[in-house]
Amino acid sequence: MRSSEPSIARGIVTGLVAGISATILMDQFLKLGGSGQKAIDKQQGRPEGLHLIDQEPPATEQEYSTEIVARKIAETAGRSLDKDEKRKAGQVVHYAFGTLMGVVYCVTAEVLPEATAGGGTGFGTLLFLGADEVAVPALRLAPQPTETAPMDHLQQWAAHVVYGGSLELIRSIIRRLTR
């Protein structure tokens, strides 16, 4: 018999699946639906679709925040990354963060169902505010929010709403299948 009782283990497994899936969907939103970001990427010669915790990279370094994190991890391990390795490692950081946030959301939803209010969009908004608007700039991984165009903020917020909504949709489907 399947249980409808809260389960941390189920939250973790569900979060892994939902987190990576929602990150992929968010990237697709930015690639296909976010024509503004696609145009900016093309104009600046950057790869598309790596924007979960990214804003415009600092003009002096031309690195996404995920690439900066990847570079710093590599440097700590005594290794340097070439441009292609840094791009790939930045993608790993991006998907790892998206997956981790999916686990946080799904475990929270298991023990506190009220966290799903808004169909995950509240979580996506909180993630946008906490990561993009506060943590990433505070860690000097991106420009301060006042140095970023308002339309970029709106687009990143919309992408995080897509991410949160996708998380909840996938979580709720898996939850129904595992009751």
Q: Is residue 77 part of a domain?
A: yes
Q: Is residue 72 part of a domain?
A: yes
Closest CA to 160 of 13, 7, 75, 34: 34
pTM of the model: 0.81
Q: Is residue 37 part of a domain?
A: yes
Res 3: pLDDT:
58
Q: Is residue 1 part of a domain?
A: no
* Beta-sheet strands, E only, within the chain: none
Q: Is residue 2 part of a domain?
A: no
Res 9: pLDDT:
94
Q: Is residue 31 part of a domain?
A: yes
Q: Is residue 27 part of a domain?
A: yes
Q: Is residue 3 part of a domain?
A: no
Is 27 within 8 Å of 19 (Cβ atoms)? no
Q: How many domains does the chain have?
A: 1
Residue 140 is part of which domain span? Answer: 8-177
Buried b (16+ CB within 10 A) or exposed e, 112-142: eeebbeebbbebbeebbeebbbeebbeeebb
| pLDDT values of the chain reduced to their tens digit, one per residue, 179 residues | 355 788 999 999 999 999 999 999 999 998 876 554 455 555 555 554 444 444 444 444 468 899 999 999 999 999 999 999 999 999 999 999 999 999 999 999 999 999 999 999 999 999 999 999 999 999 999 889 999 889 889 999 999 999 999 999 999 999 888 87
Q: Could you give the CA distance from residue 125 to residue 72 in angstroms, rounded to a whole number?
A: 28
